[in-house]
Copies of this chain bind each other. A is one copy, B any other.
Amino acid sequence: MHSTDHAAPTIVDVARAAGVSKSLVSLAIRGDAGVSEATRTRILAVADTLGYRSNVLARGLARGRTQVLGVLVSDLSNPYHSDVVAGIEARAEGAGLGTVIGHGQGDPAVLAARLDQMLDLGVDGVIVVSAMLPAEALDTAAARRPVVMVGRPFEQPRRVSVVRNHDERGAALAVAHLQDLGHHGIVHLASSHRAAASARRLAYGEAMTRAGLPSTTLWVDEGGVETLIAGAVGSAGPTACFAGNDRTAAALLHDALDAGLDVPAAFSIVGYDDAQIARQVRPGLTTVAQPREAIGREAARLLLARIDGDKDTVEVTLEPSLTVRGTTAAPC
Closest to A309 in B: B1
- Produce 1/0 per residue, A93-122, CB < 8 A to B: 000001111110100000000101110111
Chain B CB within 8 A of A76 CB:
yes
List residues 31-87 of chain A with CB under 8 A from any CB of chain B.
53-58, 60-61, 66, 68, 75-79, 81-82, 85-86
B contact residues around A86 at 8 Å (CB): 103, 105
Copies in the complex: 2
A89–B61 touching, CB < 8 Å: no
Q: Select which of B81, B101, B143 is within 8 A of A102 by beta carbon.
A: B101
A100–B118 touching, CB < 8 Å: yes
B contact residues around A68 at 8 Å (CB): 117, 121
Chain B CB within 8 A of A308 CB:
no
Chain B CB within 8 A of A276 CB:
yes
B contact residues around A114 at 8 Å (CB): 98-99
- Produce 1/0 per residue, A141-154, CB < 8 A to B: 00110000000000
B100–A276 touching, CB < 8 Å: no
A→B interface (CB under 8 Å): 4-5, 8, 53-58, 60-61, 66, 68, 75-79, 81-82, 85-86, 89, 98-103, 105, 114, 116-118, 120-122, 143-144, 250, 254, 276-277, 280-282
Tell me the bound Cα distance from A224 to B58 in angstroms: 56
A4–B143 touching, CB < 8 Å: yes
B contact residues around A122 at 8 Å (CB): 56-57
Closest to A60 in B: B57
B contact residues around A76 at 8 Å (CB): 76-77, 81-82, 85, 101
B contact residues around A144 at 8 Å (CB): 8
A103–B118 touching, CB < 8 Å: no
A103–B99 touching, CB < 8 Å: yes
A100–B121 touching, CB < 8 Å: yes
B contact residues around A75 at 8 Å (CB): 82
Q: Select which of B66, B82, B99, B280 is within 8 A of A280 by beta carbon.
A: B280
Tell me the bound Cα distance from A276 to B121 in angstroms: 33
Tell me the bound Cα distance from A197 to B285 in angstroms: 32
Q: Other than the known A5-B143, A8-B144, what 6 A-B pairs have Cβ atoms closer than 8 Å?
A: A55-B61, A56-B121, A86-B103, A86-B105, A89-B105, A100-B101
